[in-house]
């Protein structure tokens, strides 16, 4: 009899242990070995901490006993999932190492460390005979992973498959408030190593289970601190986990494309290094177990259909088996779209494996509490026929039951079908190599004559980290490439221009030394997905994209990557790049060094590394020794040759040395003193900025809104204050007010109880915000010549608080932008912010923010000053003037028709005695605008783009002697927006040259 035959009331009446035994009879395949001893005490506590019997299964409702192998109790002091117990990562590791010393079925490996130096581990569990020979097994898997090594021979592959067992890699707790996985995985490893039931034995002897119990180790330790604080202050609100990892929170699961975080690289290297077939990531946010692998459309367009079918196989087996156990709320599909490859699990999808993900239910700690679900969580739908209960008392043990049961079901299915999945693994690897001749393309080419070697190198470094092979041509190659567009099509272009069709392809000779990303390699799929463009149809049935809709890295890096469809490119002479390429040292001789500015991110590194050198920036283009140096190029003096050489190596920049500075106007650039200001509301979006600055060795003071609230003299300390986006839908009133002041203080600091908090920044109370004093202090800072940099919601903040006179937010209407890449056009080429940019820049927009400018404070573009031009009822046709009778006709001056990025010009009538008119030198300057409608979309979803087209994207607003820079886009995002980083760094280096009038303050000679 299955549990589903009982009513819920009946469960309440039956003793838990009896019910569990009844369940065990439903299917003999789950039966435990009757001869095997049970750890009675542990088993009773499993039942005790499980809040309802149906929230457990015959696979996990007992624990086998062992006289030699310690149970998790040895470290936890109670069973896995017991209330009130949340172990630190080191305790979790201690248990796995105890297992390793007690049984030959467990091996522990260090796989790397985190940004804060904490260890990451992977634990292999399998039969001792498999683990003793895991290296031989891995050598066979390596051949299946790269079928070129066996000449793509299917018969050889079949032999290898027969001799091999697969590797199933499980990762836990990447998301720190999702706390259940470590204890579930401790107990799972014990079961896999100890249990002699046929079900478990089969798994153990047919596959290797690989486990990283804690992915976000820094965040785990902070989360345990918070939980301990909560237990010590039981009746108080407890602080939110405002920092997870060192840089980002939830977005640590969006880093699988650019691999900027240590945890991403450590997991990918482990997955690739073991030649695993599955990467299965554990999360907790959906009741009771959502196997989100199958997900919803649109599916990522670069996946092998074999994989998407594997998702269905494994996912539906998972749901079916747990349905048979009578466990409520287990489902697959759901509303997760499978478009973006940024998720950790997607590393497997993009490297010929299988990506999987569970969302289980969790309480953000180990308290047992009553949870009230929302209708969309408990409703029955076609893919969720046995939905979760509307209300449930939920424990961490319940969570562990679900996670372990689901994993065992998956492992069992995988073991039972190991040969099929290994063969699929080989097939997917082979089909990745065959890509040039089926779906294409044949290759991507990154030409050697790329303007910014720095940005190109950064893109190549990501591909290399993705284990993509890179080749380099050894002779010039002439190929057919997509024709270059003749530039932005003007909306008002004449019909004559429009009729000339542009050719689709053109012949191009690619110079020696160009980089070729061949698609006839095993990991072609990730390279293709990253280098291609994305298109999300505005009328796609999926109306709520789960994450960004576009990510094309060449566009975001502003690097040319030619998509070559002709397989002939693969026959060109080229070598595989084995070593890192170091740039040539400075050429020429002399004590003055010139570095061309091609909007290279690491120019800023150069300034801060050569601390004592005299550095200036050219105010005009200049040619020296036949080499072009665009406006904004760098001149270095008073630095030793050795210093310059080592700095160039570090920055991947090239320089020429000359004996005297060329005769060109220049201005000095100091190493401006930077502060980065964060709120206590959310730190993730600004965390990406911190990470970028750290990676580029740009020093900054990390301050918070409370510091600024109490510190008036910011200008004596700082030249630049960065207020990076807050995110999380935080708006100006919250930035100013902070969290409500009722209730108790919420400390974030290092104490004996919370040793892992306060490391990045600290406060006695997270609640107070910036306050009105903070706004005043920022205003004084700018008025005294400082530069305030804002973006997205903080640009809105600057507008809302009067720090950006003449700037307003453009109406959004029904515009739809969801993490979309958009083209821009330069409005003010003389602004130092745009130094080095020679071609149109693509920017990342989260939701389509754009801005308008006005020459009047508080003024907006609509209604237009002066009303509309529509003719009134009268004589003639629609285009004729109305003429009053009895007097001569007097024509009006035509009304001005500014472009969407321009302010409405003011006439004498409008400026007379008007205190709101902004003095000419303080009027906001639009530096960059969104492109015209037809060329606006680069990658992703854009609907009703006409509402955004041509509107201002980057504005310099002026206040007193200083500048407020407003980005409607986010120029520093997830390590992806490398092309727009230099906008920020140019602004920083030239912070005192961003005004309208020459001579500092509002200073440079930019166009009116
Ligand atoms: Zn999660």
Of 338, 258, 336, the residue nearest 531 (C-alpha): 258
**Gap from CA of 225 to ligand 1 centroid (Å):** 19
3-state SS assignment for residue 155? helix
Q: How far apart are CA 544 and CA 383, in angstroms?
A: 18
The per-residue pLDDT for 9 is 37
CA-based max dimension of the chain: 115
**Gap from CA of 180 to ligand 1 centroid (Å):** 11
Q: How far apart are CA 82 and CA 94, in angstroms?
A: 18
Contact 226, 241 (CB under 8 A): yes
3-state SS assignment for residue 210? strand
3-state SS assignment for residue 920? helix
Q: How far apart are CA 768 and CA 679, in angstroms?
A: 10
**Gap from CA of 762 to ligand 1 centroid (Å):** 25
**Confidence band, pLDDT 50/70/90 cuts, at residue 196:** very high
**Gap from CA of 114 to ligand 1 centroid (Å):** 19
Dump pLDDT digits (tens) for 719-774.
999 999 999 999 999 999 999 999 999 999 999 999 999 999 999 999 999 999 99
**Gap from CA of 283 to ligand 1 centroid (Å):** 4
* CA atoms 883, 889, 893, 894: torsion sign: positive
**Gap from CA of 336 to ligand 1 centroid (Å):** 12
**Gap from CA of 695 to ligand 1 centroid (Å):** 26
Structure tokens at 744: 């108790």
Burial (CB count within 10 angstroms: exposed 0-12, middle 13-18, buried 19+), residue 730: middle
- Res 467 pLDDT > 50: yes
- Can the peptide bond before residue 543 be classed as cis, meaning omega within 30 degrees of 0? no
Q: Determine what percent of the chain is predicted with pLDDT higher than 70.
A: 93
**Gap from CA of 587 to ligand 1 centroid (Å):** 51
**Gap from CA of 464 to ligand 1 centroid (Å):** 27
**Gap from CA of 739 to ligand 1 centroid (Å):** 24
- Residue 613: which H helix or E strand, with range? none
The values of phi and psi at residue 313, to 5°, are -55, -55
Q: What is the average pLDDT score of the chain?
A: 93
**Confidence band, pLDDT 50/70/90 cuts, at residue 584:** low
3-state SS assignment for residue 463? helix
Of 594, 695, 581, the residue nearest 649 (C-alpha): 581
Contact 296, 338 (CB under 8 A): yes
3-state SS assignment for residue 58? coil
**Confidence band, pLDDT 50/70/90 cuts, at residue 871:** confident
Q: How far apart are CA 276 and CA 350, in angstroms?
A: 13
Q: What is the 3-state secondary structure (H, E, C) of 780-828?
A: HHHHCCCEEEEECHHHHHHHHCCCCCCEEECCCCCCEECCEEEEEEECC
**Gap from CA of 415 to ligand 1 centroid (Å):** 27
3-state SS assignment for residue 989? helix
**Gap from CA of 356 to ligand 1 centroid (Å):** 13
- Res 489 pLDDT > 70: no
**Confidence band, pLDDT 50/70/90 cuts, at residue 25:** very low
pTM over 0.85: yes
Span 7-23, mean pLDDT?
Answer: 39
User: Residue 729, by phi and psi: left (phi above 0), alpha (psi -120 to 50) or beta?
Assistant: left
Structure tokens at 277: 């077939």
Q: How far apart are CA 907 and CA 921, in angstroms?
A: 17
**Gap from CA of 766 to ligand 1 centroid (Å):** 24
Dump pLDDT digits (tens) for 503-536.
788 999 999 999 999 999 999 999 999 999 999 9
**Gap from CA of 597 to ligand 1 centroid (Å):** 41
Residue entry with tokens 């467990």: 106
Neighbours of 741 (CB within 10 A): 11
3-state SS assignment for residue 929? strand
The per-residue pLDDT for 238 is 96
Q: To 10 degrees, what angle do helices 418-433 and 154-163 make?
A: 140
- Res 999 pLDDT > 70: no
The per-residue pLDDT for 997 is 54
**Gap from CA of 350 to ligand 1 centroid (Å):** 20
- Res 948 pLDDT > 60: yes
**Gap from CA of 743 to ligand 1 centroid (Å):** 29
**Gap from CA of 337 to ligand 1 centroid (Å):** 15
- Res 1003 pLDDT > 70: no
**Gap from CA of 357 to ligand 1 centroid (Å):** 9
Q: How far apart are CA 339 and CA 335, in angstroms?
A: 12
**Gap from CA of 425 to ligand 1 centroid (Å):** 27
Dump pLDDT digits (tens) for 819-837.
999 999 999 999 999 999 9
- Cα separation values, 322 from 2, 402, 405, 413, 610, Å: 11, 9, 8, 13, 62
**Gap from CA of 178 to ligand 1 centroid (Å):** 6
**Gap from CA of 684 to ligand 1 centroid (Å):** 15
Structure tokens at 360: 């289980």
**Gap from CA of 108 to ligand 1 centroid (Å):** 25
- Cα separation values, 629 from 450, 649, 831, Å: 15, 20, 17
**Gap from CA of 85 to ligand 1 centroid (Å):** 20
**Gap from CA of 282 to ligand 1 centroid (Å):** 7
Dump pLDDT digits (tens) for 230-288.
999 999 999 999 999 999 999 999 999 999 999 999 999 999 999 999 999 999 999 99
Query: Going by C-beta distance under 8 Å and a sequence separation of 6 or more, which residues neighbour residue 625?
Result: 588, 656, 658
Dump pLDDT digits (tens) for 376-433.
999 999 999 999 999 999 999 999 999 999 999 999 999 999 999 999 999 999 999 9
Q: How far apart are CA 278 and CA 257, in angstroms?
A: 18
Residue entry with tokens 């401006």: 672
Helix, strand, coil percentages (3-state) for the chain, rounded to 5, are 35, 20, 50
The values of phi and psi at residue 370, to 5°, are -85, 125
Please compute, for residue 949, the number of CA atoms within 13 A of its CA located in the half-sphere on the CB side: 16
**Gap from CA of 179 to ligand 1 centroid (Å):** 10
**Confidence band, pLDDT 50/70/90 cuts, at residue 481:** confident
Please compute, for residue 209, the number of CA atoms within 13 A of its CA located in the half-sphere on the CB side: 32
User: Residue 527, by phi and psi: left (phi above 0), alpha (psi -120 to 50) or beta?
Assistant: alpha
Strands (E) in 285-340, as ranges, are 289-291, 296-299, 330-332, 337-338
- Cα separation values, 449 from 446, 477, 511, 626, Å: 9, 13, 7, 16
**Gap from CA of 76 to ligand 1 centroid (Å):** 24
**Gap from CA of 25 to ligand 1 centroid (Å):** 35
**892-931 b/e (C-beta count within 10 Å ≥ 16 → b):** eeeeeeeebbbbbebeeebeeeeeebbeeebbbbbbbbbb
User: Residue 858, by phi and psi: left (phi above 0), alpha (psi -120 to 50) or beta?
Assistant: left
Span 171-180, mean pLDDT?
Answer: 98
- Res 491 pLDDT > 60: no
**Gap from CA of 266 to ligand 1 centroid (Å):** 19
Q: How far apart are CA 396 and CA 401, in angstroms?
A: 9
Query: Going by C-beta distance under 8 Å and a sequence separation of 6 or more, which residues neighbour residue 55?
Result: 288, 327, 328, 398, 401, 402
The values of phi and psi at residue 838, to 5°, are -115, -10
3-state SS assignment for residue 315? helix
**Confidence band, pLDDT 50/70/90 cuts, at residue 33:** confident
Structure tokens at 256: 């699988």
């Amino acid at each position: 009899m299955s549990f589903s035959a009982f009513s819920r009331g009946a469960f309440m009446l039956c003793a838990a242990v009896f019910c569990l035994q009844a369940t065990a009879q439903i299917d003999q395949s789950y039966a435990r070995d009757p001869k095997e001893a049970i750890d009675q005490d542990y088993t009773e506590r499993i039942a005790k901490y499980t809040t309802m019997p149906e929230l457990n299964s015959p696979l996990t409702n007992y624990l086998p006993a062992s006289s030699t192998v310690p149970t998790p109790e040895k470290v936890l002091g109670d069973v896995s999932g017991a209330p009130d117990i949340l172990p630190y990562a080191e305790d979790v590791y201690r248990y796995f190492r105890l297992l390793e010393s007690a049984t030959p079925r467990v091996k522990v490996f260090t796989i790397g460390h985190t940004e804060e130096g904490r260890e990451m581990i992977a634990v292999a569990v399998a039969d001792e005979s498999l683990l003793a020979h895991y290296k031989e097994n891995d050598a066979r898997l390596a051949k299946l992973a790269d079928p070129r090594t066996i000449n793509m021979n299917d018969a050889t592959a079949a032999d290898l498959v027969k001799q091999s067992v697969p590797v199933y890699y499980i990762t836990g707790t990447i998301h720190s408030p999702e706390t259940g996985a470590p204890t579930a995985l401790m107990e799972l490893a014990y079961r896999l190593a100890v249990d002699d039931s046929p079900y478990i034995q089969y798994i153990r002897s047919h596959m290797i289970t690989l486990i990283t119990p804690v992915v976000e180790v820094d965040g785990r330790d902070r989360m345990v601190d918070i939980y301990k604080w909560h237990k010590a202050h039981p009746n108080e609100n407890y602080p939110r986990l405002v920092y997870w990892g060192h840089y980002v929170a939830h977005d640590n699961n969006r880093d699988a494309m650019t691999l900027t975080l240590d945890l991403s690289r450590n997991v990918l290297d482990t997955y690739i290094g073991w030649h695993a077939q599955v990467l299965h990531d554990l999360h907790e946010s959906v009741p009771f177990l959502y196997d989100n692998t199958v997900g919803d459309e649109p599916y990522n367009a670069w996946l092998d259909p074999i994989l998407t079918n594997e998702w269905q196989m494994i996912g539906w087996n998972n749901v079916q088996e747990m349905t048979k156990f009578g466990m409520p709320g287990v489902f697959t599909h759901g509303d997760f779209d499978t478009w973006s490859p940024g998720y950790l699990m997607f590393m497997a999808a993009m490297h010929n494996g299988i990506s999987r993900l569970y969302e289980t239910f969790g309480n953000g700690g180990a308290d047992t509490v009553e949870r009230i679900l929302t209708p969309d969580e408990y409703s029955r739908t076609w893919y969720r026929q046995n939905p979760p209960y509307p209300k449930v008392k939920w424990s961490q043990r319940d969570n562990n039951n679900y996670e372990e049961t689901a994993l065992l079901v998956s492992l069992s299915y995988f073991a039972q079908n190991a040969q099929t999945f290994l063969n699929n693994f080989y097939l997917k690897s082979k089909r990745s190599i065959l890509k040039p001749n089926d779906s294409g393309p044949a290759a991507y080419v990154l030409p050697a004559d790329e303007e910014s070697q720095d940005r190109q190198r950064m893109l190549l470094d990501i591909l290399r980290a993705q284990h993509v092979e890179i080749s380099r041509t050894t002779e010039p190659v002439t190929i057919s490439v997509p024709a270059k567009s003749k530039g932005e099509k003007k909306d008002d272009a004449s019909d004559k221009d429009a009729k000339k069709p542009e050719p689709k392809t053109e012949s191009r000779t690619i110079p020696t030394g160009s980089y070729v990303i061949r698609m006839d390699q095993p990991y072609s799929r990730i390279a293709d997905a990253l280098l291609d463009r994305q298109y999300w149809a505005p009328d796609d049935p999926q109306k709520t994209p789960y994450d960004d809709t576009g990510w094309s890295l060449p566009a975001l890096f502003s690097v040319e990557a030619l998509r070559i469809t002709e397989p002939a490119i693969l026959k060109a002479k080229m070598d595989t790049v084995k070593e890192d390429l170091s740039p040539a040292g400075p050429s020429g001789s002399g004590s003055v060094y010139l570095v061309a500015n091609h909007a290279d991110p690491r120019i800023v590194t150069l300034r801060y590394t050569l601390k004592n050198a005299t550095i200036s920036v050219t105010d005009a283009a200049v040619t020296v020794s036949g080499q072009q140096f665009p406006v904004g190029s760098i001149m270095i003096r008073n630095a030793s040759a050795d210093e310059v050489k080592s700095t160039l190596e570090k920055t991947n920049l090239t320089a020429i040395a000359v004996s005297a500075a060329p005769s060109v106007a220049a201005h000095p650039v100091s190493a401006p003193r930077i502060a980065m200001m964060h709120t206590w509301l959310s730190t993730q979006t600004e965390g990406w900025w911190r990470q970028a600055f750290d990676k580029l060795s740009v020093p900054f003071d990390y301050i918070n809104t409370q510091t600024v609230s109490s510190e008036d003299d910011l200008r004596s300390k700082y030249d630049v204050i960065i207020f990076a986006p807050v995110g999380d839908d935080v708006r100006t009133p919250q930035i100013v007010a902070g969290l409500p002041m009722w209730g108790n203080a919420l400390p974030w600091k290092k104490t004996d109880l919370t040793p892992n908090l306060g490391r990045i920044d600290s406060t006695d109370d997270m609640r107070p915000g910036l306050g009105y004093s903070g706004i005043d202090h920022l205003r004084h800072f700018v008025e005294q010549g400082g530069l305030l940099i804002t973006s997205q919601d903080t640009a809105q903040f600057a507008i809302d608080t009067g720090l950006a006179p003449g700037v307003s937010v453009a109406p959004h209407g029904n515009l739809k932008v969801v993490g979309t890449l958009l083209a821009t056009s330069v409005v003010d080429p003389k602004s130092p912010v745009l130094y080095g940019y020679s071609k149109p820049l693509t920017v990342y927009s989260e939701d389509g923010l754009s801005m308008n400018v006005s020459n009047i404070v508080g003024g907006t573009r609509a209604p237009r000053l002066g009303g509309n031009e529509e003719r009134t009822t009268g004589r003639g046709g629609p285009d004729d003037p109305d003429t009053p009778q009895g007097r001569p006709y007097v024509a009006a001056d035509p009304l001005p028709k500014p472009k969407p990025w321009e302010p409405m010009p003011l006439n004498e009538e409008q400026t007379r005695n008007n205190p709101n008119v902004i003095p000419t030198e303080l009027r906001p300057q639009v530096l960059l605008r969104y492109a015209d409608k037809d060329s606006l979309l680069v990658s992703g979803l854009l609907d009703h783009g006409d509402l955004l087209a041509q509107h201002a994207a980057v504005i310099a607003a002026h206040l007193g002697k200083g500048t407020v820079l407003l980005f409607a886009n986010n120029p520093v995002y997830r390590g992806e927006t490398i092309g727009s980083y230099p906008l920020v760094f140019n602004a920083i280096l030239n912070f005192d040259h961003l005004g309208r009038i020459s001579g500092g303050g509002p200073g440079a000679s930019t166009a009116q």
